[in-house]
Structure formats: structure tokens, C-alpha cells
Amino acid sequence: MRCRNRVALLVALTSSLVIAAGSMSCGGATADARAQWVIEVSTDAPVPQLGDRLLVELVAPDGTTPCPGCRRLFGMSGPSAWPLSFGVPDPSGAELRLRVRLFRADHSDVGGAPTGALAIDAIGALPATAGGVRRVSVMLYAICTGVAADPIHSLTCDPQTGALVARPLDDTVKSALVPGSFTLAQATPCAHAPREGMACIEGGLFARGDSVRVIDEEITTQAIPERLVRLSPFALDRDELTVGVMRALVAAGRVERPRIRSGSSPACTYTEQAGELEEHPVNCITRDAAKRACAARGLRLPTEAEWEFAAGDRDRENRYPWGADPDPCRYAIVGRGRTDGEGALDPSSVCRAVPGAAPLAWGPRPERESDDTTALGLRHMGGNVSEWVADEVASYGGHCSDGPRVLVDPRCDVAEERGVLVRGGSWSAQPFFAETTHRGMYGDDIDSPFVGVRCAESL
């Protein structure tokens, strides 16, 4: 969309090549008759979700970029920026390849090159121009996301098989790919309305994990590498399972009673008799008990992927359930930990009350008190209590993430190591546990005062 002087940009530097700016921008095609390729780049990926930067390089057969002008970055704002067309003068005779990569700005280094695993990467040999204008089309397939091209052997991901193959650049006129047309990226509505108290999460595509903030010490629970995940529609409780709902299940004989609040368990919320904590999230239940509580309601535990997709507001992939504001203490019930049970807040707690305001309360809070709310109205995904999920412990690079490039409804049933996963922060957790991509782990299936449950249902 930027206005450029076309003449100036199409002038090649002395004895080198220049990838010129798009002739699409302002004022139609150029009439330059010199030997050149006119290259059109298109994609079926949802943009800018999967990429807002395009790096175009001319590559010599040894894999190097032969000149400074042979490398060009384009900012690709969104669907309207596609397809991209530009001209490349033919240096007469030199054998050249064209490499094109689509990626996200936050996955790039200071020189603008992609650093993450999520790029779409294509390379191919440029056909001879024979002194004229040769049209070339480069197609970036979303299904090939994360499959790096091989610049030495000029191999690119085959969208049919995912294998690296020599894929000639198309020089026949084909219709360009349409951004967002990738089948697995289409939103799938819920088949019917969710039951009361639950939100419908439409099916869709997102990048699971976070390669920008790698801050977890446990190798297994690091949220890397990022992978594309496709989820079917499902429903998720708007609130963490409350003491009141749990009490009804216990009264009906459907589940056993959780650990009772007492002098030695002051942060547990379930009381002998119904009292003031009925709207608090129930905690001090094992994952096993949480599973039974969900099953008693005809529901199940959400998978990690479902949890993350819902917390980040689906393909928006928000860093926090409430959006982008990096101040968890302001929104979520986190950073208020203390373990001696006296009720007052430990001065070393990470979150502090705003000067002049009431002191921060210790322990979980009622579900309805929430600034930690997603756009779909899910409350306390960031904090209050962490939540058990259905998956067994496995790294994102491990056996449960093998297989096709886009993981479809992943759930890991075979543990890689001992431990039990939770998602979301808790009242005692460090504030960064509120990040939607953060993965937490307990050594055993314990009834912790920091963990509760939120149930899900396939729709």
C-alpha cells in the first residue's frame, strides 16, 4: 500500500540483482521490457495469523545469497496485501533459485530473518527468461507450515505428502491461492447451543505453544516447539467448578467429598456445611476426582490444546485470558501465595495491593469476582485455581506430537514422565503462570489447594 517510485525501484544496482518493489502497489504494471521474472506469491494460510512478514531471497546453487539486493523483506498486513507481485531482473545466465518465507514479526531476528518453527518456506529454481519477461508463481501452503526448505538441494515441502521434494516454480498461469482458504483453518460452529453456564468454542486453527517466551525450567513442560493445531468445536465451563455445584454432586452420591477446609487445610474451599464459599472454586481435589466430577455432569476434562485455545480467545492467541496487558496482578488472582495459613498476605508475595486500596485477599476468590475474563466470558482462566487437564505429561516435541504437520484434536494418553499437568495460574502462583501458553505440572495426582477443575464437552 505504500507509494513508491516505480522507476527508482526497478533500477538494478551495478552488477547485482534487486528484488524490486511490487508493481501492484500504486499504479499498475511496469512497462520495463528487460529480461526479468515477474513473480507472484500467494498463500492459503490465514493471515496475518500465520504470518505478516515475507522474506524473499535469490539464492545461488551453493545456498548463499549472492548480492545485497537479492534479499527483500515485505510487510504483509493482511489478506488485502495478497497476492504479492514483484519483478526481478535476470542477470543473464546465472543459475538462480528463489526462496520465499512467510512468518510472524515476533518470530524474527534483528535482521528480519525468521527464527521460529512456524514459517512457511518454499524454494525453487527460476526458469530461463530467454531475454524476455517470464511469469513465475510461488505458492505458500499452510499445510507446509513448520517444514523448512532445503536451500542447498532446492527442496520444498510437498503439500500432498509433507515430504521435501524438488518443486519447480510454476511458470504456467494458475489461479493464486486465496488467503485463509486453508481447509483446516475454517471456523466450525458448535452443532448445538452449549448448556447453561458453558461457552461454545468454535472449532479452528491455532499455533499451540510459545517460542518467544521460553521461561519454564522443566524441559517437558516448555511450550516449544510451536505447532499448528486444529480443534473441533467444544463447550467449556465459563467458571471453575464451584463448591456449590460440587456439593450437589456429593449430595447426589455421584462423587466423593473433597478435602474439607480446616485449620490444617485453610485454603481448601469445600466446607462441611453449605456456607459462604459456595461460589468459590472447589479445590483440594485430585485429578482423578476432578475427572469423576466432570463425568457425573456428563462432561469431561478439557485437553491442554482446548484449554489454551479457549484461554487465548481462539485464533487471536492472546498472551493472557484478558488480552495483551502484561500486568497479571491487576487482572488475575495470582501472586498471593503463602503457606502458613494465617490469612494475612505474606509481604513477599509478588502481587501487591494498589496503595490505598484494600489488601489483597489470601486464597481463592468467588467465581463471579473476575477481571480475568476472556472475550467469550470464561472467568479465571489466568488465576484463582489452576485446572486439571485430560492429557498425560509429554513434551511438545515428544511422541504425542509426532505425525502430520497439523495436529488434529491432540490429546496425549501416554505419559513421557511422571507428573500431572495443570493449566492456568493459581492464587499462589507466579504471575507469569497466567499466560495462556504456560504449562504447569505436579509431581503426583495430589489434592492441592492450588488446583481445581473446569469441565468440557465435545459439540
Partner 1 sequence: MLTRGIGVAGLAAIAACASTSAPPRRQVLVVIDTDALSPEDVARDPELSGALTVDSVRVDVLDEKDGVRVFREFSAVSRLDWPFSFELRPPERGELLPTTLRVRAFRARDAQAALEGTQPTLAPMPELALDRVVVIPAPAPEEVIRLRIDLNAECMGTPTSFRDRTSCVDGEHPMLPFAAALPRVGVGAETTSRVGTTALGRAVPCARPAAPGRVCIPGGLSVLGSAQLAGTEDGIVSLSPLPMRLVRVAPFLMDETELTVGAARPLLAGLHSEQPVQRSGAGLEASKYCTLESAPLADLLPLNCVGDATARELCALRGGTLPTEAQWNHAATGRGEGRRYPWGDRNNGCCNVSAGRLNSFFANQRLCQGEGVEPVGSHLPSSTCQGQGDVSRDGVVDLGGSLAEVLSDNARPLDDACWGPRFGILVDPTCVVPGSISIATRGGDWAAGTFNAAAAQRGAGVRSVGRGVRCVYRGAAE
Mutual orientation of helices 243-251 and 287-296 as an angle, nearest 10°? 70
- Tell me how far apart the alpha carbons of residues 22 and 85 are, in angstroms, rounded to a whole number: 5
C-beta of 53: minimal distance to partner 1 in Å?
A: 6
Which residue spans within 195-303 are E strands per DSSP?
A: 198-201, 204-208, 227-231, 234-237
What DSSP designation does 171 have? Answer: -
Torsions phi, psi for 46 (to 5 deg): -70, 125
Q: How far is the CB of 191 from partner 1 (least distance, A)?
A: 28
Q: Which of 16, 25, 181, 271 binds partner 1 (CB under 8 A)?
A: 25
Q: How far is the CB of 243 from partner 1 (least distance, A)?
A: 29
Instruction: Specify the residue, 302 or 312, whose C-beta has the smaller distance to partner 1.
Output: 312
> Which residues, numbered 308-367, are part of the site for partner 1 (CB under 8 A)?
315-319, 323-324, 326, 328, 348, 350
d(CA 8, CA 17): 14
Question: Shortest CA distance to 224 belongs to which of 107, 134, 125?
Answer: 107
72 forms part of the interface with partner 1 (CB under 8 A): yes
C-alpha dist (Å) from residue 407 to 79, 146, 204? 24, 12, 12
**Which CB sits closer to partner 1, 216 or 237?**
216
Tell me the closest approach of the beta carbon of residue 83 to partner 1, in angstroms: 17
Q: By C-beta, is 297 or 319 nearer to partner 1?
A: 319
For partner 1, what does the binding mask look like between residues 409 and 438, x meaning CB under 8 A? Answer: ---------------------xxx--x-x-
Grid cell for residue 320: 493472557
Q: Does 78 bind partner 1 (CB under 8 A)?
A: yes
| Residues 6 or more apart in contact with residue 84 via CB below 8 angstroms | 22, 24, 40, 41, 42, 54, 74, 76
Cα gap 168→157, rounded to integer Å: 12
Applying CB under 8 A, the site for partner 1 has a residue count of 63
Beta bridge partners of 231: 204
The reply to whether 300 sits near partner 1 by the rule CB under 8 A is no
Smallest separation (angstroms) from partner 1 to the CB of 157: 22
Residues 178-217 that bind partner 1 (CB under 8 A): 207, 210, 212-217
Residue from 17, 38, 47, 333 in contact with partner 1 (CB under 8 A): 47
The residue from 28, 93, 111, 253 that contacts partner 1 (CB under 8 A) is: 111
Residue labelled with grid coordinates 546453487: 61
Choice between 28 and 253, CB closer to partner 1:
28
- Give whole-number Cα distances, 258 to 250, 252, 422, in Å: 9, 14, 18
- Give the footprint of partner 1 on this chain (CB under 8 A): 1-5, 8-9, 20-21, 25-27, 47-49, 52-53, 68, 71-78, 80, 104-106, 108-113, 115, 207, 210, 212-217, 219, 315-319, 323-324, 326, 328, 348, 350, 430-432, 435, 437, 443
